[in-house]
């Protein structure tokens, strides 16, 4: 049930229901960190939340169609451009890119330069399981480790202006990106045990704009019930 209420509490994490995501696993990961997950149901909610998660495990076309149908694309794009705490997971990372070979003719959000292409080489597609993550020195959130992936497509090259973690499945691909308070993971941190929990905790605690967002005057917005 949706209801008008004032949110911007520092313990709340807004989750965007793309229609192609397992929201419960994401919500449970934040509950384990002592946070309150909330499903967002408006562009105002996306704009006003201190922390926003863009999850997804389905198709590029389906995810973008849902964001555009609900009028949420511009609000997400603005958050990323401003470097506000925003987390893209799996398909969420791909939606931030310009386009995908999975859905020719369907533009992405365009926040990250580059086109998503199908995994290739000797690895089985889709990639389902644990794989290594190699993070750059000096990254605020990303750390090297073993994490869980479920993907058939990849961003092949590190985009300019982003700290980039890489992995390999048949060929090298972008496994994680960060810039300002924005973190995007091709893997699933919510399914990656202690490594994933540590990553989520760092994102919550160390986002450069997290404290400012939490302390800013609250604004009315609409959110759905707790996940």
d(Cα 7, Cα 136) in Å, to the nearest integer? Answer: 35
Nearest to 155 by CA among 119, 191, 107: 119
Catalytic annotation present for 90: yes
State how far the Cα of 70 lies from the Cα of 33, in Å rounded to an integer: 29
For the chain, the straight-line distance linking the first and the last C-alpha, in angstroms and rounded, comes to: 11
- With residues binned 3-state (H G I as helix, E B as strand, rest as coil), the percentages for the chain, rounded to 5, are 30, 35, 35
Tell me, yes or no, if 190 is annotated catalytic. Answer: yes
Q: Which of 97, 111, 169, 188 is catalytic?
A: 188
* Residue owning tokens 């603005």: 78
171: left (phi over 0), alpha (psi -120 to 50) or beta: beta
Q: What is the DSSP string of 118-143?
A: E--SSS-SSEEEEEEEBPPTT-SS--
3-state secondary structure of 23: helix
- In angstroms, rounded to a whole number, what is the distance separating the alpha carbons of residues 203 and 206? 6
Whether 169 is catalytic: no
Of the candidates 12, 90, 97, 169, the residue annotated as catalytic is 90
Q: Please tell me which residue in 12, 66, 178, 190 is annotated as part of the active site.
A: 190
- Which residues are the active-site residues? 90, 188, 190
């Amino acid at each position: 049930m949706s209801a008008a209420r004032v949110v911007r509490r520092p313990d709340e994490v807004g989750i965007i229901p793309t229609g192609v995501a397992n929201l419960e696993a994401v919500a449970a990961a934040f509950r384990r960190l002592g946070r309150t997950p909330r499903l967002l149901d408006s562009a105002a909610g996306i704009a006003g939340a201190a922390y926003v998660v863009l999850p997804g495990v389905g198709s590029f076309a389906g995810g973008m169609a849902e964001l555009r149908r609900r009028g949420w694309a511009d609000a997400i794009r603005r958050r990323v451009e401003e470097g506000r705490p925003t987390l893209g997971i799996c398909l969420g990372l791909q939606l931030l890119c310009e386009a995908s070979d999975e859905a020719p003719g369907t533009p992405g959000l365009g926040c990250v330069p580059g086109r998503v292409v199908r995994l290739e080489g000797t690895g089985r597609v889709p990639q389902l399981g644990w794989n290594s993550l190699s993070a750059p020195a000096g990254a605020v959130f990303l750390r090297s480790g073993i994490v869980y992936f479920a993907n058939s497509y990849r961003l092949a090259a590190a985009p300019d202006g982003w700290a980039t973690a890489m992995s390999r499945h048949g060929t090298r691909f972008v496994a994680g990106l960060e810039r300002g308070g924005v973190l995007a993971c091709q893997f699933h941190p919510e399914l990656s045990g202690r490594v994933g929990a540590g990553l989520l905790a760092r994102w919550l605690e160390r986002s450069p704009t997290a404290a400012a967002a939490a302390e800013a005057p609250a604004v009315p917005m609409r959110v759905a019930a707790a996940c």
